[in-house]
Amino acid sequence: MGKDVLPKIYDPGEIEEKWYSFWQDKKLFRAGEEKTSKEYSIVIPPPNVTGSLHMGHALNNTLQDILIRYHRMNGYNTLWMPGMDHAGIATQNVVERQLAQEGLKREDLGREKFIERVWTWKEHSGGVIINQLKRLGCSCDWDRERFTMDEGLSRAVREVFVRLYEDGLVYKGDYIVNWCPRCHTALSDLEVEHEDASGSLWHIRYPIEGSDEKVVVATTRPETMLGDTAVAVNPNDPRYSHLIGKHAILPLVGRRLRVIGDPIVAMDFGTGALKVTPSHDLTDFELSVRHNLDRVTVMDFHGRINERGIHFKGMDRYECRKAIVKELEEKGFLLKIEPYTVGLGRCYRCKDVVEPLISKQWFVKTGPLAAEALKAVETGATRIVPEHWTKTYYDWMNNIRDWCISRQIWWGHRVPAWTCEDCGTIVVSRQDPVECTSCKGSRLVQETDVLDTWFSSALWPFSTMGWPDRSELLKTFYPTSCLVTGFDILFFWVARMMMMGIKFMDDVPFKDVYIHALVRDESGKKMSKSLGNVIDPLEVMDRLGTDAFRFTLAALAAQGRDIRLSESRIEGYRNFMNKIWNAARFALPYLDSGEGLPAIDELESPSLSEQWILSRLNATIREVREGIETFRFNDAAQALYQFTWHEFCDWYIEQTKIPLSGEDSVAATRSAAVLRHVLDSLMRLLHPFIPFITEEVASKIPSNGSTVINGPFPTVDAALDNPEAERKMGTLMGLISAVRNIRAEMNLSPAKQLPVIVLPSSTEEQSVVEEDRRMVVALGRISDLTLSNPGEAVEVPRMSATAVTGEMRIFVPLEGIVDPDAEIARLEKELAKIEKELAGVQKKLSNESFLAKANPDAVQKQKDRQAELSAKAAGLGEGLAKMRTLKGL
RNA sequence: GGGCGGGUAGCUCAGCGGGAGAGCACCGGCCUUACAAGCCGGGGGUCACAGGUUCAAAUCCUGUUCCGCCUACCA
């Protein structure tokens, strides 16, 4: 037919490559800078420059690409802003590990050389993930790709820091922070992962000064006692209240410890007495503020005991614990050890146990920023989907603590603050200052700390668009339409973008936040390299194809539940891709006469199946649009799967073989026109989910104007809704299925053509069957179809199988072909099912309360069901009775 | 401790006030000229448990229980 013969099996490899380059070469992902009538924008959650594509990225970016492609096809000026995050600690660790292999430490290079080295690494090996995103089919505007450390974004970081400082929202101070002794830096509260570990509760006797009394404290960290400066009890505790104001003597050390009363102490925990170590415990630090206690720091930044630790000096924290416990025991201070589960905080990067330590750090005062961010969601300026996450968001915003933003590493944005060595003034400045603002001295020393990686990510929605300049891009695309992200970074990132966006842009950074699930393995475990349960997206894409993979993710992306991904699921959708491919293989040759086909709204007297498929297509368009627009990707994917496979392929295509190969050229042309329309529409509907195969198939449709990526996306045409055609087609499908069922249940070969007698209950049923007689005969494999008039007495061979569909009776004469026992068994089974259902319906209809109170539509529905079920039961009952008579039962 | 999500077919999960569904797996039959990665047919579930609301509950409410996650200054 002059067409390339398509292979039987869809082979994604070359096709994916071909189309991605095509789209890129033609600049089809490019957003227009100027405002048009409608804009749609998303900023990508910037992957770490160290990262490689994992399942979380794959899901996240597939969903974004679906939204982006959908809106682009719908004519929006669409921007998907891509880029990467410098990932301070993570990246520094990568390069430090490389250095270690050469036997070097970063200190050996010095700060400048080390940073140079990181940049070199970034240029050569960083950012492989970008190519992996392209492999996934992401239609980002790559010409605008940004990096959190590039010049523009660094300028934005400085501007924000300085303005926050000027507004009193950034401050520096000595506070207790989470310290990672391995990474050697402070961490924010969020960067600490909590876990339970088995530990002990040591009960230690502290003598009371000048008396025989003692107080017993319980602790999980005996080594910190070296830094104790008080003992706290609850003022309402009768056991201890009389001790408040007295002093205890710290064992081993001999320091006098004031006994203080504070309601924070839980009377029912441990011994009810708490040793207070302000320098090494957050609660104790706060007690020290309230009670004006001394702070004795006994541990250094490596987690070793310092010179304040008497003879334990130089020991590692855990070594010291053993030594202390041993000595306490020897000297009789240790009264009891009980097993206890302790909460451990670990560094989210290196997993080392975090140590609370006091140090000088920079903080963002979050209170005022959080208040605005909270309000933005309450007023609906930003909507969080699924909605239940808003509560989590509120809780966090309401309990927010100041954000420690300084990190003692080298890779990142250096804090733009300088200290004057002459007068001690701190200068915070947009440009590197040359002289002290106070004494005009020139001996200025810049802070060595860098900013938390999340500080720059917090600015992402506007820093990527050129801020602090009032760029065209910002005017056109800010606020962004939607943010798509996992809940694991709701606080890290989303909350902070909200705060910064509102503060610096006077508007929320995004209108919708769609929070998707986590991808887990088959057994529900989080995928991780250490568990060895990761499915590598790239390997999957290589083997099963990108489209199959993307469709799987979309189909599983139900709101509010994690995704358990399994290979077999992806294989299932790989088969779906093949199904699409083969449907196209079938259809394409008939579409050869492209321009000769009538438009869909000019069809002359379309057949029932044509009206039906157009009505179903219309319903599918509605479901897909609705699904994407409400972030119910799984619903949209299911609707597409169902329609494509079980309506278009199973019924429409099967049926269309008759007119397409028939001698009626008008019917053949019309049929081809509908086939073409549905195939083309389907490719468009599917395109956001599976961009490659759809583009390939659509390109094979003769004289198809442009590529699918440009749209348009199919629109609902209410004129095509046709409930009547759907009902009639249902009748025919029921008839065909009934015949097939009899054949199969009677163990007859599928090739066996059977004679069928149909007794319609109405003239409508009669004419429906009559008009599509050829379809019924072909799909039901019927040798001879006898169609009676309604109510007419037709002679049915005594030895026939019986079925009922709608209210139409179907007989298949089986004289001499089959054992009547089999038919009796089949009918009994079927009848039992119907009668059970009927009983349920009748019970409802005989319930007066139901008739009186239920919605009239609901009542009518039950009545209709009753009629249908009764007819069916009657028909099957008669068939059964006849069969039994035959058998002489 | 507080909060959130979940317990529906063998497995993975939709459905969330009126006929228990899908995919995979399973059973039976088919190389029917787009597709065996396919076609046709079929079996399979007191929707965790207990109460309640309602004419009607897998679906709403309360409690119980089990699982998962987030969060937290009981050392």
pLDDT per position as a tens digit, A622-645: 999 999 999 999 999 999 999 999
User: Token digits for A689?
Assistant: 């989910």
User: Token digits for A76?
Assistant: 């929006």
> From the CA of A260, how many Å to the C1' of B45?
63
Contacts of A780 (CB under 8 A, 6+ apart): A735, A736, A739, A740, A754, A756
List the one residue out of A111, A156, A92, A174 whose CA is nearest residue A455: A156
End-to-end CA gap in chain A: 61
Q: Is beta strand A444-446 parallel, antiparallel or unpaired with respect to A417-420? A: antiparallel
User: Among A64-73, A334-343, A496-505, A581-590, which is the least confidently predicted range?
Assistant: A334-343
d(CA A493, CA A771): 63
User: Quick one: which residue's CA is nearest to B39's C1'?
Assistant: A650
User: Quick one: which residue's CA is nearest to B55's C1'?
Assistant: A850
Contacts of A538 (CB under 8 A, 6+ apart): A53, A132, A135
- Nucleotide with C1' nearest the A275 CA: B75
> From the CA of A501, how many Å to the C1' of B48?
45
User: Among A524-528, A663-667, A773-777, which is the least confidently predicted range?
Assistant: A524-528
User: Quick one: which residue's CA is nearest to B68's C1'?
Assistant: A524
Rounded alpha-carbon distances, angstroms, from residue A54 to A13, A517, A518, A529, A553: 20, 14, 11, 10, 13
User: Token digits for A741?
Assistant: 């069922």
Q: Are A862 and A844 in contact (CB under 8 A)?
A: yes
d(CA A717, CA A620): 11
User: Quick one: which residue's CA is nearest to B67's C1'?
Assistant: A524
Q: What is the mean pLDDT of residues A214-222?
A: 92
Which residues is A403 bridged to in the sheet? A364
Residue A22 has pLDDT above 50, yes or no: yes
User: Token digits for A284?
Assistant: 């104790």
User: Token digits for A17?
Assistant: 């490559």
**Strand B bases contacted by the protein (CB, 7 Å):** 3-6, 11-15, 18-19, 22-25, 28-32, 34-43, 54-56, 68-75
SS3 percent helix, strand, coil of chain A, rounded to 5, is 50, 20, 35
User: Token digits for A595?
Assistant: 């321009």
A277 class by beta-carbon count within 10 Å (0-12 exposed, 13-18 middle, 19+ buried): buried
d(CA A841, CA A208): 82
d(CA A402, CA A158): 19
Q: What is the mean pLDDT of residues A33-43?
A: 94
What confidence score (pLDDT) does residue A595 get?
Answer: 65
Query: How many H-runs (helices) and E-runs (strands) does chain A carry?
Result: 29, 29
Residue A187 dihedral angles phi and psi, to the nearest 5° = -130, 150
User: Quick one: which residue's CA is nearest to B56's C1'?
Assistant: A850
How many residues make up chain A in this entry?
Answer: 889
Contacts of A683 (CB under 8 A, 6+ apart): A694, A695, A697, A698, A701, A708
What confidence score (pLDDT) does residue A562 get?
Answer: 78
List the one residue out of A831, A799, A795 whose CA is nearest residue A812: A799
d(CA A94, CA A99): 9
What confidence score (pLDDT) does residue A764 get?
Answer: 92
Single-letter code of the amino acid located at A561: R
> From the CA of A344, how many Å to the C1' of B71?
14
Q: What is the mean pLDDT of residues A678-694?
A: 96
User: Quick one: which residue's CA is nearest to B41's C1'?
Assistant: A744
Q: Are A364 and A402 in contact (CB under 8 A)?
A: yes
- What is residue A536's three-state secondary structure? coil
> From the CA of A839, how many Å to the C1' of B54?
21
ipTM exceeding 0.90, yes/no? yes
Q: Residue A710 gets which letter from DSSP?
A: G
> From the CA of A835, how many Å to the C1' of B20?
17
List the one residue out of A511, A447, A449 whose CA is nearest residue A477: A511
Q: Is beta strand A383-385 parallel, antiparallel or unpaired with respect to A426-428? A: unpaired
Q: Are A688 and A595 in contact (CB under 8 A)?
A: no
Contacts of A295 (CB under 8 A, 6+ apart): A227, A229, A278, A279, A285, A288, A358
Which residues is A84 bridged to in the sheet? A147
- Nucleotide with C1' nearest the A545 CA: B37
> From the CA of A554, how many Å to the C1' of B4?
24
- Nucleotide with C1' nearest the A274 CA: B75
- Nucleotide with C1' nearest the A652 CA: B34
User: Token digits for A640?
Assistant: 């597409």
- Nucleotide with C1' nearest the A577 CA: B37
> From the CA of A337, how many Å to the C1' of B3?
33
Give the rounded distance of the alpha carbon of A235 from its chain centre.
49
List the one residue out of A252, A229, A218, A250 whose CA is nearest residue A326: A252
Q: What is the mean pLDDT of residues A311-328?
A: 93
pLDDT tens per residue, range A248-281: 999 998 999 999 999 888 888 888 899 999 999 9
A685: left (phi over 0), alpha (psi -120 to 50) or beta: alpha
Q: What is the mean pLDDT of residues A234-240?
A: 89
What confidence score (pLDDT) does residue A586 get?
Answer: 94
Q: Are A708 and A684 in contact (CB under 8 A)?
A: yes
Q: Are A773 and A785 in contact (CB under 8 A)?
A: yes
> From the CA of A532, how many Å to the C1' of B51?
45
Q: What is the mean pLDDT of residues A536-564?
A: 88
d(CA A26, CA A44): 22
> From the CA of A563, how many Å to the C1' of B11?
14
What confidence score (pLDDT) does residue A566 get?
Answer: 80
List the one residue out of A699, A882, A670 whose CA is nearest residue A795: A882
Per-residue confidence at A763, pLDDT binned at 50, 70, 90?
very high
Residue A819 has pLDDT above 80, yes or no: no
d(CA A500, CA A506): 9
- Nucleotide with C1' nearest the A778 CA: B32
- Nucleotide with C1' nearest the A654 CA: B34
Per-residue confidence at A809, pLDDT binned at 50, 70, 90?
very high
List the one residue out of A147, A152, A155 whose CA is nearest residue A84: A147
d(CA A683, CA A138): 18
Question: Average model confidence (pLDDT) for chain A?
Answer: 90
Residue A530 has pLDDT above 70, yes or no: no
Q: Residue A242 gets which letter from DSSP?
A: G
> From the CA of A854, how many Å to the C1' of B18?
9
Q: What is the mean pLDDT of residues A812-836?
A: 84
A669: left (phi over 0), alpha (psi -120 to 50) or beta: alpha
d(CA A353, CA A348): 10
Percent of chain A with pLDDT over 90: 67
- For the beta carbon of residue A146, count every other beta carbon within 10 angstroms: 21
User: Token digits for A751?
Assistant: 């090739």
List the one residue out of A63, A72, A62, A65 whose CA is nearest residue A40: A72
Q: What is the mean pLDDT of residues A558-586?
A: 88
- Nucleotide with C1' nearest the A11 CA: B37
> From the CA of A884, how many Å to the C1' of B39?
34
Residue A566 dihedral angles phi and psi, to the nearest 5° = -130, 155
Contacts of A175 (CB under 8 A, 6+ apart): A285, A358, A359, A361, A363, A404
User: Quick one: which residue's CA is nearest to B71's C1'?
Assistant: A396
- Nucleotide with C1' nearest the A488 CA: B70
Q: What is the mean pLDDT of residues A169-191?
A: 89
- Nucleotide with C1' nearest the A743 CA: B41
> From the CA of A652, how many Å to the C1' of B36?
21
Residue A527 has pLDDT above 90, yes or no: no
- Nucleotide with C1' nearest the A733 CA: B40
Contacts of A52 (CB under 8 A, 6+ apart): A128, A129, A132
Q: At what angle do helices A537-544 and A128-135 cross, to 10 degrees?
A: 30
What confidence score (pLDDT) does residue A3 get?
Answer: 43
Q: Are A692 and A547 in contact (CB under 8 A)?
A: yes
List the one residue out of A342, A307, A317 whose CA is nearest residue A223: A317
d(CA A17, CA A274): 66
Q: pLDDT: is A486 or A70 the higher one?
A: A70
Residue found by looking up tokens 């300088």 in the block:
A418
> From the CA of A398, how many Å to the C1' of B3?
13
Residue A331 has pLDDT above 60, yes or no: yes
Rounded alpha-carbon distances, angstroms, from residue A630 to A144, A616, A635, A686, A863: 28, 21, 10, 17, 35
> From the CA of A840, how many Å to the C1' of B52?
24
> From the CA of A644, how many Å to the C1' of B22?
14
- Nucleotide with C1' nearest the A585 CA: B34
Count of alpha carbons within 13 Å of A22, Cβ hemisphere only? 16
Per-residue confidence at A528, pLDDT binned at 50, 70, 90?
low
User: Among A37-41, A54-58, A682-686, which is the least confidently predicted range?
Assistant: A54-58
- SS3 string, A686-735, reads HCCCCHHHHHHHHHHCCCCCCCHHHCCCCCCCHHHCCHHHHHHHHHHHHH
Residue A90 has pLDDT above 90, yes or no: no
d(CA A176, CA A278): 9
